[in-house]
Chains A and B, each alone.
Chain A
């Protein structure tokens, strides 16, 4: 057998793609248990990474999966990627075994097939850089695998086209009529048949259609299986507490979003310097569901300067920025948006110099200078915290309540679209309420033997 560097490149790229996409899919799927897990975020397959990373950001983003409103978390794109790479392995092996590798039509199909992961990789890379501001090592490995497949497939196709052109004069000789030339090195009858296919007539369209169907099956079967087996997370809706006193007797709620007609009333508990709140805001905006809720915010700065419920300043400067938000009145959403944008800087500078937050705020919003730090502002912020206490809110941010029912903390990232759209649907039907979690019945004790 001749050496086939282009085909080998496709095979290696596709095999690598299967491995990296499988690891990425595993990372995604393990989160279906609603718990926190380390991710495998490395150029070396299998090496895990704890804490925040590009992989964490990418996986929790709305771009990591599709059909997010239909199934909790959606169907991971990496699952489709794994399937496509598996198909490419199959097709490349088929070309190798059947020697269609010299056929422009068959290799052209491979090149087209590799365009799918390559184009998807390009789109995802652009999204990573432009929307997420980070890249994920595991994703980069998949991008590289896609690129290797594409380059290999294009090289193979060009090689086949060149080879076919070289054969044409021989094939068109009058003594061969319309029949294709049998050019090859067959030593046996069966080998002769293969050679005839390789250098003979172009691969029939039926074969390519069959290959396409197989490719669709490669993607469709795992996706259908995923949809069928994915755990039911709807039973958790409404099981995560509610608001006993949602009325705004202290006048501390800030309108941050006016939903359209029939928008569900929502209260978000947030800290303007909390990274999770910023990420939640981005996810909510990307979900397309923000317009369906009539959202007010209650500030809950996790900063011991004003918040007695935390022992240290988790988000230094959050009290000052919260005062600025309260002082801003109708412009509160503008101050919150600004705080989300510059929160890293405020936190780091305030950690070094406690007066930094006030300085930064007053520099950006000089009209709020007299209010920030005043007894009235501090008292109002304190009332915001009193509202939190009165409603038995847990000490963490962000938290979203739809018509007094809490969106569970486990649903604020991967499961946001699924859970929130379900909650909104139930609210529209008047069926949204807090309910106790139905716990599975305890398993019966092992039998002590036959009676």
Chain B
């Protein structure tokens, strides 16, 4: 009777012990296999790089950004009109065409003639566009002036317009990356004047859109490209 009892105990005790041992060994084997093979991991977070970021666009962006001190360790900030033309190595029309895919990501801040002050509507637009950064790495402020007055005056006026936007961004958003992500260009009246097709863009003024009015402006937009 005792032998039978022992046999039953052994048989029944073997159920949890043998099964457990077999299952653990099996899991251990799979664990070793898993450790040996590269794991499939979730993608790593990264900045946006959308479809319009063609190699050509990236090449030109890189040139402009390096020239303006945003990449490559150059301490300069902003670009002179001539520099912009040089680094872009393209016509004004082609330069403007670069920004056309960013219609939904930007806007045109319109100034009064010979002024560089931002009114309430301008501020609202700048805030709205800048707050919608999403995954973009670069924010461009491209200021211009209409042809009235001297070229030198207009160059200085467009610089003041770009700096007005930058000053507001600095005060409003207190963004530690501001100097690394905002590129300013002041083009005066000399290069890449906006054509009236940009009237269809989001503008801070609801007044009738003429070429002169359109160029008393600062074009602002996020660029969703990885460089």
Contact = CB atoms under 8 A, between A and B. Distances in A.
Contact of B24 (A22, A32, A308): A32
Interface string A414-451: 00000000000000000000000101101000000000
A97 B4 contact: yes
A43 interface: no
A379 B45 contact: no
Given A309-B45, A379-B133, A440-B36, A94 B25 contact: no
Interface in B39-95: 41-48
B134 A306 contact: yes
Contact of A218 (B16, B32, B48): B16
B27 interface: yes
Interface in B146-179: 172-173, 175-177
Nearest to B133: A382
Contact of A25 (B19, B41, B177): B19
A439 B35 contact: yes
Contacts of B44: 392-395
Contacts of A94: 5, 8
Contacts of A221: 13, 16-17
Given A26-B23, A396-B42, A86 B16 contact: yes
Nearest to B14: A86
Given A309-B135, A379-B175, A395-B43, A30 B26 contact: yes
Tell me whether chain A's interface is mostly helix, strand or loop, or mixed. Answer: helix
Interface stretch (A116-124, A126-134, A222-230, A277-285): A222-230
A83 B35 CA distance: 32
A441 B145 CA distance: 69
A82 interface: yes
Interface stretch (A145-153, A176-184, A332-340, A383-391): A383-391
Given A309-B45, A382-B131, A393-B45, A222 B24 contact: no
Contacts of A225: 17, 20-21
Contact of A231 (B17, B21, B28, B47): B28
A308 B176 CA distance: 21
B4 A33 contact: no
Contacts of A90: 8-9, 12
A98 B1 contact: yes
A199 B100 CA distance: 100
Nearest to B174: A251
Nearest to A235: B35
A404 interface: no
A250 B176 CA distance: 7
- Interface centre among A87, A249, A309, by most chain B C-beta atoms within 10 angstroms, is A309
B12 A229 contact: no
15 contacts: A22-B19, A30-B26, A30-B27, A33-B34, A82-B16, A90-B12, A97-B4, A221-B13, A229-B20, A229-B28, A375-B130, A379-B130, A379-B175, A389-B47, A394-B41
Interface of B: 1, 4-5, 8-9, 12-13, 15-17, 19-21, 23-28, 30-32, 34-36, 41-48, 127-128, 130-135, 172-173, 175-177, 224
Given A226-B24, A229-B28, 10 more contacts: A34-B34, A82-B15, A86-B16, A218-B16, A231-B24, A309-B45, A388-B45, A393-B45, A394-B43, A396-B42
